[in-house]
Amino acid sequence: MPTLIEAGVPGYEVNSGFGLRAPASPPPPILDRWEAESVKALKSPDTHQRIGELGATIVGSTPREFGAFIRAEIAKWAKIVNASGAKAD
């Protein structure tokens, strides 16, 4: 079976991820604490071991970086969904 590049689909990339989301505009002290505790958990050796066992990689981005990732993914996949003609039922 050919790879996607060999099949004529260059630049193909699919990512998945997990993240924490909050309601819009939480109080900054709460968001700051949530971020600090999340970073602490992600740096834990136990967390690194377990995530590695699952075949994943910890990125540990900031809320702003994660938001940018989500917006970019929505924009990318919206084009594909629209081009496919798929409709939600």
Residue pLDDT, tens place only, 54-88 = 988 888 888 888 889 999 999 989 988 999 998 87
Output the pTM of the full model: 0.67
Total domain count, the chain: 1
Q: Where are the alpha helices (DSSP H) in the chain?
A: 28-42, 45-53, 63-84
Question: Does residue 5 form part of some domain?
Answer: no
Q: Which domain does 71 fall in, by range?
A: 28-77
Phi, psi torsion values for 4, nearest 5 degrees: -65, -40
**Average pLDDT over the chain, rounded to an integer:** 88
Domain assignment of residue 15, yes or no: no
